[in-house]
A and B are shown apart, each in its own frame.
Chain A
Amino acid sequence: SAVISQKPSRDICQRGTSLTIQCQVDSQVTMMFWYRQQPGQSLTLIATANQGSEATYESGFVIDKFPISRPNLTFSTLTVSNMSPEDSSIYLCSVGWGEETQYFGPGTRLLVL
């Protein structure tokens, strides 16, 4: 299993600004992922954070809007850039080891005014 923390837990931001979300894991993990959960909806994968290389983005998500860093095997950041009210969501990171269970962080609740 893994213990995952995210910072901040919640934030209220003004449109046009950017927010960086941190994800810290208590052990080294192979896979790290970032998901978005819009109000009343299920989770959608944004990207796979690759250690030492660029993230792999899903259709509909681009690096300019959601730049991701993964400097080591226990830490990753997701930035939500040039925010608009449509970016108001819960952002979750998850970790996994190949075909094992994925574990999720508690999420970052973002409200953009």
Chain B
Amino acid sequence: KQEVTQIPAALSVPEGENLVLNCSFTDSAIYNLQWFRQDPGKGLTSLLLIQSSQREQTSGRLNASLDKSSGRSTLYIAASQPGDSATYLCAAGSGSARQLTFGSGTQLTVLP
């Protein structure tokens, strides 16, 4: 059974810092790895999708990497802003229906 872990559980940084969020998974037989953002009281917003054959994906100030062999993914946020404050979830896609197994999330606070 796939298990996904995210470290740290919470992170507080001053505005402008670069930061890294970590995600690890136990079963390397994944099809993809997806990063989401969840704001309080709202649904999930997809940030980046990395297919199993890819090493990284970039979107604006966000860069996500994937190392299947070691069961790890990282989300790098450059020049953080207060608007980046949210909970960040990683999810590993596996199984015939590409079901997602979620980590417990990292709650990020960017201080002005």
Residues of A near any B CB (own CB < 8 A): 31, 33, 41-45, 48, 56, 58-59, 92, 94, 96, 98-107
Is B55 an interface position by the 8 A CB rule? no
A45 near B89: Cβ-Cβ < 8 Å: no
- Tell me, in angstroms, the Cα distance from A42 to B38 when the chains sit together: 10
How would residues 76 to 112 of chain B score, 1 for a CB under 8 Å from any chain A CB and 0 otherwise?
A: 0000000000000101010001111111110000000
Residues of B near any A CB (own CB < 8 A): 1, 31-32, 34, 36, 42-44, 46, 49, 51, 89, 91, 93, 97-105
A102 near B34: Cβ-Cβ < 8 Å: yes
Q: What does DSSP make chain B's interface, helix, strand, loop or mixed?
A: strand
* Residues of B close to A99: CB separation below 8 A: 31-32, 51, 93, 98
* Residues of A close to B89: CB separation below 8 A: 42-43
- Tell me, in angstroms, the Cα distance from A98 to B105 when the chains sit together: 24
- Chain A residue at minimum C-beta to C-beta distance from B6: A42
B100 near A105: Cβ-Cβ < 8 Å: no
Shortest C-beta distance, B105 to chain A (Å), equals: 5
Known interface pairs A101-B34, A104-B43; A96-B49 also in contact (CB < 8 Å): no
B44 near A33: Cβ-Cβ < 8 Å: no
* Residues of B close to A103: CB separation below 8 A: 46
* Residues of A close to B36: CB separation below 8 A: 104
A102 near B100: Cβ-Cβ < 8 Å: yes
- Tell me, in angstroms, the Cα distance from A92 to B49 when the chains sit together: 19
11 residue pairs of the A-B complex, CB under 8 angstroms, read: A42-B102, A42-B105, A43-B100, A48-B99, A99-B93, A100-B49, A101-B46, A101-B49, A102-B46, A104-B46, A105-B43
